[in-house]
A and B are shown apart, each in its own frame.
Chain A
């Protein structure tokens, strides 16, 4: 199979642009809080709350935009499936690295300003300088949102709104489980209010394995939906 270089590069390029924008916006918000109040926590820590939705929509776009393009350019669904899998498995770590780099930049700025680099919620890492652990946690987080995006994107492309409604509980379950393996605070709509977070007191290896398995399950569930999906030939 050919390496999906252009699919990956196109998504990475856009992610870098968004990362730069996120750095600028976070810096502006942190500066405003520091000027008008007390900046006593990491501002960059809040970014994944939005970035994971970007991962989800990247997954949706993989199916909604790129699957039809691949087929229309004479590629098979199987080829696309392979390319999408490789892209998802490499793109999530790329996002994880970008996010971890953001912490390092923030750490430098906070040090210059004499601010404390305090984390506001539980993580696998206790310090933002634990680069590999930061990358691992957020890779897993972005990966499961990406996988949920491909799954929901496939459901929508094949069955429209009804498909999304039917598949939403499964996608939410995948996200819930994977997020529970990497942190204690879901910060999902309704999840905390209704106590939907899972408190998994499992060994780290089991948690990591569960997280990875959840991501792979999300991607695997996408395949049966797209393996013979008809392309829409009327404009949605």
Chain B
């Protein structure tokens, strides 16, 4: 499902959670929605799922506005850690209503996921541990098979094996039933392998939108003697620099073509890819009250790999 967001704003009183955000998701992919706390991820997904109405701007899903539009909303699912879909009695009760309200519900998948997560159908959801409640949300979200499915930190409290079950189940079901999935998470290294495209929000605006391989290709760590690193990185966007004795490791942002790579090798410099999580940290670093990679107040721009 194609998602078009144009100049989207959401205010909570005096606080702007979303501030003129513009982007387009072509759909049929797993998107990673990243951002620091308060960057607007939950607010964006809340508007996309018609949990709340935007203050200004437009959101269209499959070409139609979302809020109170049944044709669209019934094809959208947002699973949060707040438990809207699960805190309704027992696990069985939650499945009972999900089956009734979700047009694409797969009961067999739900049962197999319940077994995989070790969830008891008769257990009261509100009495479950945080991880079990999150697993319930994952079951509802995956078995709902909504053409636009969003998970907002829905792995909160899950232990490592449960998170692995979730990632594996999500990927397997996505392969069998391709749809648009948006994952918001702070466990970036864990979920990064799932992402086909990444959006990074910062202070209610789109900082970056890029396909994952291309984004990863833009970050490079240049390690070597300080003077040679300085010479090599002159004119490049340096996101971070660390020094250990005479050696410096600089994280540069932007593509390095073959000539530049040969130049680095010739200078005895080591080039290494930057993990998505590190790249995210550098791009959203806020040492002086302004985004590191974007001039303060810069307008949200077209989707591209350039940080804005």
Contact = CB atoms under 8 A, between A and B. Distances in A.
Interface of A: 5-6, 10, 65-66, 68-79, 228, 230-235
B75 A10 contact: no
13 contacts: A6-B100, A10-B93, A70-B101, A71-B49, A71-B50, A71-B51, A72-B79, A74-B73, A74-B102, A228-B67, A230-B51, A233-B80, A235-B83
A232 B82 contact: yes
Nearest to B51: A231
A224 to B, nearest CB: 14
Contacts of B49: 71-72, 74
A235 B74 CA distance: 24
Interface in B53-87: 53, 67-70, 73-85, 87
Interface of B: 42, 46, 49-53, 67-70, 73-85, 87-89, 93, 96-98, 100-102, 144, 146, 152
Q: Is the interface of B mostly helix, strand, loop or mixed?
A: loop
A232 B100 CA distance: 23
A235 B70 contact: no
Nearest to B99: A6
Given A70-B101, A230-B51, A233-B51, A76 B85 contact: no
A68 B52 CA distance: 11
B82 A235 contact: yes
- B49, B74, B82: residue with the most chain A Cβ atoms closer than 10 Å: B82
Nearest to A65: B88
A25 B84 CA distance: 34
Given A6-B100, A70-B101, A75-B74, A228 B84 contact: no
Given A65-B88, A231-B51, A235-B82, A76 B97 contact: no
A69 B49 CA distance: 12
Contacts of A77: 68
Given A10-B96, A232-B82, 14 more contacts: A5-B100, A6-B97, A65-B88, A69-B85, A72-B85, A74-B49, A74-B76, A77-B68, A230-B46, A230-B51, A233-B51, A233-B80, A235-B82, A235-B83
